[in-house]
Structure formats: structure tokens, C-alpha cells
Chains A and B, each alone.
Chain A
Amino acid sequence: MKKSLLLALSVVLALGLVSCSKSSTSSTPAERTFSVALVTDTGGVDDKSFNQGTWEGVLRFAEETGSDKSFIQSNSDADYIPNLSTLSESGHDLVIATGFLFVDSLTQIADNYPSQKFLLIDAVIDKPNVASALFSEKEGSFLVGAAAASEALKAGKNAVGFVGGASFPLIWAFEAGFEAGAKAVSPDMVVLTDYIGDFVDAGKGQSITSKMFDAGAFAVYHAAGSGGNGVIKEAKDRRINGQNVWAIGVDRDQYDDGIYAEGKSAILVSMMKRVDIASYTVAKQTKEGNFPGGQTIYFSLENGGVSLPENNPNLSAETLTLVDDLKAKIIAGEIEVPSLPSNRQ
């Protein structure tokens, strides 16, 4: 017993020593490589949402430029400050944080480490060493609004719906773009709108959507986080029962979330926020010595920061042409997408 234990111990120790000595030779600093690090919220880099998107952008950048990359996942919001500090002290060229949850902690950390460059995605901090990336959600919403209206007309309906999470300016921009897009296709198009009150209550999202479908809505667009799962669920349920109604996804391509039968999804189209493009672009700018510190960069249709998915099997060819046409007009500045819906202007 004792001998075998001792043997096991010494094997472990010996292995440890061998691998130690190996690493100490390899870690001598030769050419310093550019390095990017990401702090995730509690979601982690495989959350199928913002963290994952940001990390994919970092990976693409690291692969193309041969840069170092690493990430730290936070266990709770108590970890944001120590994690950001850890990365700031590790000599990374750019530290990225995603989402408005980081606003307080990063504001403090940016003061503590004035020479560290930070990128905050989807929120704004006004510090000289922080670059903020925002998305033109209204432009993307305009396109899905137009697509929904175009398909509704073809199906002989003249109403579409919008379900927001909480009611505040960021979400109003989704509503405004969607409404403007639908009206651009047909000025008579009715846009029903309602708000859940938070971003988690999928049950309420579903009941609101049910009312909208009953009132004749052809497709319902949501900007309600996981509350929007109720919107998608209602559309799925009704499609299973043979009704021709749709849900419209947000933030990423939600096609897979809407699958209700083999090869069939209740998601008409999605408005994608390409956080990967934001992390990729700013990392590249930083490497080239053009770190946009203190600035807010808008990611819009023009630079691909918001877009429709590449494949939209549920949209007709006419609608796709129409959408491409409108997209070109927005980029050219011929169409100005409003930030406020008509009832708030």
C-alpha cells in the first residue's frame, strides 16, 4: 500500500518537474506577438450569443494575423473587476468586454489602467483608452420590416407586429426601423407594437404574440432577448396547426430556434448584430496602430455590422431583391432610417 502510494507520488512529481523545465525554456520572450484577450460575462465563449460572437471575431483575427488570444470566463459579476484587472496586468494589447453589464466595472478599470487599451461592445464608455462599438439596429430592423411587409402583401395580409423587451431608447430604435421598413414597402401596412416589460418573460411574450396573430399580423419581430422565445414558440405552434404566420429573429440568425419540423422553420428572417465583426475590426485597427480610443464606432449595414443572414430559405426571390435594393439605398444615404417610432416622435 505504502510503496505503491509513494511510487505514484514520485511519478507525479517527476512528470511535473519534467514538464516545468520544458516550459521554462520555451517561454523565453523572442519576438513579442500582438495579443488580444476577452472577458466574458457568466455566459462563456460557447453561449451561442454575444460572448461567442465576440470570441469568433477574435479567433478569426488571431488566425489571420498570428496573434495570441485568450479569454477568461466570469463566474459571477463579482469577478468582472478582478478579471479585467488580471488581463490588464498581463500585458495584452487589447482587452475586450461585451455588453452593458461591463459598463460600471470597465469604467473603473479604465481609470486604474490608463495605458491599457479596451474595447467595449454594445455599450459606450467615454474614456480615452476605451473604444466603444455600437450597432445600427434601426437599419437592420428596417430591412426585416421591409421583408416582413413584402411577404405579408404576397400572402394577402396587411399587418405585422413588433414585440419589445423593456421600453427604452435602444429598443425603440428596433421598433422605429421595423415600422419604417414596413411602411416603405406599403404605406398602408399596419404595425402592431407592444412591450413585455423585461427581457426574460417568454410567457408574456407568447401571449402578446398570440394577440397580434389574432389581430391579423403576418409576422412578428421581437427585440426581447429570451422573452422573444415566446414569440418564436407561438409562431411555431401556429405553423404546426397550419396557419401561415412567422416570427422574426434578432441579434443572431435564429433560424434553428424556429425549426418545428424536418427542414421547416417558423423564422421568416433574422436581424443579425455581427459582434464578431466589431471585435475583429477593432483588433485589426489596434494592431495597425489605429486604436480608436475614446471613440464610438458604429457598425451598420455599410460595414456589415448589422445584416440579414446569408441564407433565407423562407423569403421569396422578389423580397430578397427588394431588400438588397433598400439596403443599397440606406448605404447610399437615400433613405434615412428614423431612431424613434412614429408614436414617439
Chain B
Amino acid sequence: MIHYLRAYISDVKNHKILIPIIAVVMGFLLGSLIILISKENPWYLYKALIQSVFGVNFDNLGTDRPAFSIRRVGEYFVYVMPITLTGLSVAFAFRTGLFNIGAEGQLIMGAFAATALGIYLDYPTYILLPTVIMGGTLAGAAWGFIPGYLKARFNVHEVVVTIMLNYAAMYITNFLLKMLPGSDSIKTVKLNSGALLSSDFLAMLTSNSRLHYGFIVVIAAIVIFWFIINKTTFGYELKAVGFNIHATEYAGMKSRRNAALAMSIAGAFSGLAGVILVSGTFGYGRVLSHFENYGFDGIAVALIGGSTAVGSLLGALLLGALKASQPIMQGDGISKSITIIIYASIIVFIATRKHISKILVKMGRTD
């Protein structure tokens, strides 16, 4: 048995799955340790996580108050959906060797396009909703195309451009949002009902959570990501560019054009995240006073998920659980910063995967 385990952990092939798991476990141990050091009880952390993901409240077990709340499960998915999409966005760019810091800005552009279309147009759902989704996706793609083009044409580093474009996106859309009819200084009017992903049916099923049909969009996005990367020539070329750009050029691939396209597709995923925030979670456009870090969460998600489609979903499920549990932890007197420490340390552990891999190989080889 032990022999088998040693063989398993020392085999580098298994490290792709093993290392994220180790990183997550270590992250949680570190978080628990910090809670202990701050003289609180780590159980509250896990209790809050279980409550936010499964809706089971241990405090209410055996009392007259409800021990299970389906609403929490619904709200949990509301947290997970946008960061899954920004995670896919960052992951897609990663696969091409590009670092998309601009998911935030692309999301903001997508959200704005969805807001504007949803307010100005008034058609039945089967026309307006696809229009809003397409519009937001294209707006995100356009915002992603700018750094992609600059990279391809002038070799401008995409990190610099995307960081700057985040600010540009926020301030431009803040200005434009306030000009939409009926907007005040913090938000717009409600979108026309045909543009909404939110559903009374899902709200009823989950006792008034904000769960909406965006989950269908998210699942579709995961499938599309997987299909492009694994089943198309274009995806193969993108991956090849990510491995070695010079080799791909030598092989006759249009690697530069592909880089621009990859950033556009990455932007499209983020734009979609903006759409589901506006037409699903809120139902109106919001004038932002600061970034909401969906983009940075996307980077964390992509890193934890190893830049794969399913990995991004798993990463988002983890990060979403940490985010959704924050209010419950705070109610028990544990700082919400703990969750940030946990996922930051998970990322650090993942970043040191080569060393962890070496240690694992060594551990397997001790005899």
C-alpha cells in the first residue's frame, strides 16, 4: 500500500492533480493556524464554508430555527458564476503564453454593453436576451482585442496595456452609464424584462436567492473553452504558441495573429461575466467607485485550475466558497481577511509547484 502511494506521488504525471490538492490543503492549514494564533476557533471557518456551500447550519441543528437553507446554495452559485468566466478568460490567455490582467476591464465593458442594450431595446426575451449576451461578449472581445493587436503589431507588453485599459474601461463606462436615460449617480434604471437572466422560478426554488439562468451561459462557456483548446486546429496552434513562440513561427503558424485572437476570445469570456452580473445578479447597471476584483479573482481561479476549463470551474467553486463564507465568519468574529490569506497562500503554493514536485519525487524515493 505504502509502496503504491510512494510510486504514485513520485510519478510526475500525477503531479498535475496532486499539486493543486496539496496547495489547497496547505492553504487551509495555514489559514487555520493563523486563526489559532489570533486566539479564535478554526472550526468557525469550516462551519462557515459548509454553511455557505451546502446550506447546512450547525448552530441551528437541534433548535427550532431551520438547519438548512437552500438560499445559501443559490447565493453560492451567484458568487461562483462570474469568477468562473473571468477564470476562463485568464486561463485562455495563459494557454497562449499571454497574461491577461485585463479581465476586470473586459468585464466592465461587457457589463456596460449589456446595460445599454437592455435599457434601449425592448423586445421579447427570445430576441433581446441573445442580443444582450452577444453584445456584452463582443464588447469584452473588442476590449481584449486592443492589447492583443498592440502585442501582435508593435510587440507592446499586454500586461501594461491591460492594466491601463482596466482604468479606462471603468471611467469611460461610469461616464456613459450616467448618461443613460433615468440613471442617477450610482446606478441605471432596471433593464427591460426581456434582457434579464434572473428568474422568479429559480428564486422560488431557492427561497429567494439571486440564482439566475446565467449558469447555463457558464456551462456553455466551459464547453466552448474546452472545445476550442482541445478539438480545433486553432486551439492547437494557440497551445503551441504558448509553449514556444519561435518554434511555431518556424513551423509556419501565424503566431502573432493568433495572439491577438486569443486576447479577443479571453476578452469575450470576461465580457460574458459582465453580462451575467448585469442581467442576472443585479438587473441594472452600476456606476463603480472602484474595481470589484473579478479580474484578479479570475487570475487566482486560472492558477488554481491549471488553466484548463474544468480546472477553472473547480477553482471558482473553491474561491466562491471562500467568498460566500465571509459574512458567516464575520458573524462569528473571524476576520474575512482569513479567506484572502487562504487563497493567496494557495496561489503561492501553486506558484512553487516545481519545488513541491521535486519534494514529492524525493519523498517517493526515500528507500
Contact = CB atoms under 8 A, between A and B. Distances in A.
A78 B292 contact: yes
Interface string B202-233: 00000010100000000000000000000000
A9 B25 CA distance: 10
A82 B75 contact: yes
Given A12-B33, A19-B36, A86 B328 contact: yes
Interface of B: 29, 32-33, 36, 41-43, 57, 59, 63, 65-66, 69, 71, 75, 78, 185-186, 208, 210, 277, 281-282, 286, 290, 292, 323-324, 326-328, 330-331, 333, 336, 359, 362-363, 366
23 contacts: A1-B363, A9-B29, A12-B33, A12-B36, A16-B42, A16-B43, A19-B41, A19-B42, A20-B43, A22-B41, A23-B41, A70-B330, A73-B330, A73-B336, A75-B323, A78-B277, A79-B327, A85-B208, A87-B327, A87-B331, A89-B69, A112-B208, A199-B185
A81 interface: yes
Given A77-B286, A82-B75, A70 B359 contact: no
B281 A72 contact: no
**Which residue of A12, A71, A198 has the most chain B CB atoms within 10 A of its CB atom?**
A12
A77 to B, nearest CB: 7
A173 to B, nearest CB: 18
A166 interface: yes
B359 A16 contact: no
Contacts of A90: 331
Nearest to A71: B330
A72 B208 CA distance: 20
A22 B36 CA distance: 13
Per DSSP, chain B at the interface is helix
Nearest to A200: B289
A20 B327 contact: no
A104 to B, nearest CB: 8
B292 A19 contact: no
A317 interface: no
B36 A76 contact: no
Interface string A152-178: 000000000000001000000000000
Interface in A38-83: 42, 70-73, 75-79, 81-83
A309 interface: no
A11 to B, nearest CB: 9
Contact of A37 (B75, B292, B324, B331): B331
B245 to A, nearest CB: 38
A191 B281 CA distance: 46
Contacts, number: 76
B75 A85 contact: yes
Nearest to A39: B327
Contacts of B323: 75
A2 interface: yes
Nearest to A165: B185
A278 to B, nearest CB: 22
A23 B35 CA distance: 14
Nearest to B69: A89
Given A23-B41, A101-B186, A70 B327 contact: no
B328 A16 contact: no
Nearest to B36: A15
Per DSSP, chain A at the interface is helix
B29 A70 contact: no
A79 to B, nearest CB: 7
Nearest to A113: B208
A313 interface: no
A75 B282 contact: no
Contacts of A77: 286
Contacts of B328: 86
Nearest to B330: A72
A248 B148 CA distance: 51
A77 B362 CA distance: 48
B287 to A, nearest CB: 10
A72 B327 contact: yes
Given A23-B41, A73-B336, A83 B327 contact: yes
Given A75-B326, A89-B69, A70 B185 contact: no
A155 B36 CA distance: 62
B36 A16 contact: yes
Given A20-B43, A166-B185, A12 B32 contact: yes
Contacts of B282: 78
Interface in A1-47: 1-2, 9, 12, 15-16, 19-20, 22-23, 27, 29, 37, 42
Given A12-B29, A79-B327, A85 B42 contact: no
Nearest to A83: B327
Contact of B71 (A79, A85, A101): A85
A255 to B, nearest CB: 26
A72 B65 contact: no
A151 B324 CA distance: 54
Nearest to A168: B184
B41 A91 contact: no
**Which residue of A37, A82, A101 has the most chain B CB atoms within 10 A of its CB atom?**
A82
Given A19-B43, A70-B330, A89-B69, A82 B363 contact: no
Nearest to B28: A12
Given A2-B366, A15-B36, A89-B57, 15 more contacts: A1-B359, A1-B362, A12-B29, A16-B43, A22-B41, A72-B327, A72-B331, A75-B336, A78-B281, A81-B210, A82-B324, A83-B327, A85-B75, A89-B66, A90-B331
A112 B281 CA distance: 17
Contacts of A89: 57, 65-66, 69
Contacts of A73: 330, 336
Contacts of A15: 36
Interface string A123-146: 000000000000000000000000
A86 B282 CA distance: 18
Nearest to B363: A2
A13 to B, nearest CB: 9
A77 B288 CA distance: 10
